[in-house]
Amino acid sequence: MATEALKIEHIDAFYGDSHVLHGVSLSLKEGQVLALLGRNGAGKTTCISSIMGLVAPRNGTISLFGETISGLPPETISRTGVGLVPQGRRIFPSLTVKENLVIARQRESNDPKSWNLERIFNLFPRLEERQQQLAGSLSGGEQQMLALGRALMGNPRVLLLDEPSEGLAPLIVAEVGRTIALLKQEGQSIILVEQNSNLALSLADDVMILNTGRVVFSGPASEVIGNDALITQHLGIFHGH
């Protein structure tokens, strides 16, 4: 049995009085990619925010490799090993590329697979070329690479990617996809929130679909691929062949 990297059990989340997540449960297996799909406003980002402790769930529990993290402050959750690449990238525009990366370094480890500047620059040669440039002057694709690199510098045990392909040109989207595939090959456990369902389904082992804050599908990606009725009903898009 694969180890559970992250488990959410029956969480409810609210923004003020509005009830956004209704009894949501999910399980991410170690070394796998779980795609979290749904229309805009379905509750995907709230789900990510709950895992990070940015929105405290009212009920239910969230655990990382068997240890409860729900109720902890975001910085503690981050130190415990959850990395976030937020929607909209949110890098520090007035710092250089290198400073953005160094500031995110959390724990030095002797593990040769541990992430450091050298490994990040191997993964993203363009960031190495631009390491002295201000992050705000990078293209959208380069900023996305920087946001990914920054999250990896914390050596996360679970990586949360919130809309990594949003607003990027198709060539760059393909590059983001290749990077995620590479991380998965290395055994990184990933939750991927993505509007681009073709990209998500090409990378995911398992899929969870949210609709108005409720889980309407949870299962292997193979059950979603080609299931046009399910995709049309819950994602509002139709992929012809």
Axis-axis angle for helices 140-152, 170-185 (nearest 10):
10
The whole-number mean pLDDT for each consecutive block of 10 residues of the chain, a chain of 241 residues, reads 91 91 96 95 93 93 96 94 91 96 78 87 96 96 95 95 94 94 96 94 96 95 90 70 38
Ramachandran sector of residue 10 (left: φ over 0; alpha: ψ -120 to 50; beta: rest): left
- CB-CB contact of 37 with 235 (8 Å): yes
Question: Is this model's pTM higher than 0.75 or not?
Answer: yes
Q: Which one-letter DSSP state was computed for residue 72?
A: S
C-alpha to C-alpha distance for 167 and 114, rounded to whole angstroms? 30
Tell me the chain's radius of gyration from C-alpha atoms: 17
For residue 203, what is the enclosing H or E element? helix 197-203
C-alpha to C-alpha distance for 199 and 112, rounded to whole angstroms? 30
Which class for 109: exposed (0-12), middle (13-18), buried (19 or more C-beta within 10 A)? exposed
- CB-CB contact of 194 with 214 (8 Å): no
pLDDT at 15: 86
C-alpha to C-alpha distance for 163 and 88, rounded to whole angstroms? 8
pLDDT at 240: 42
C-alpha to C-alpha distance for 191 and 185, rounded to whole angstroms? 15
Q: Which one-letter DSSP state was computed for residue 3?
A: P
Q: Which CATH number fits domain 1-81+157-241: 3.40.50.720, 3.40.1160.10, 3.40.50.300, 3.30.413.10?
A: 3.40.50.300
Domain ranges of the chain: 1-81+157-241, 89-155
pLDDT at 241: 38
C-alpha to C-alpha distance for 240 and 127, rounded to whole angstroms? 37
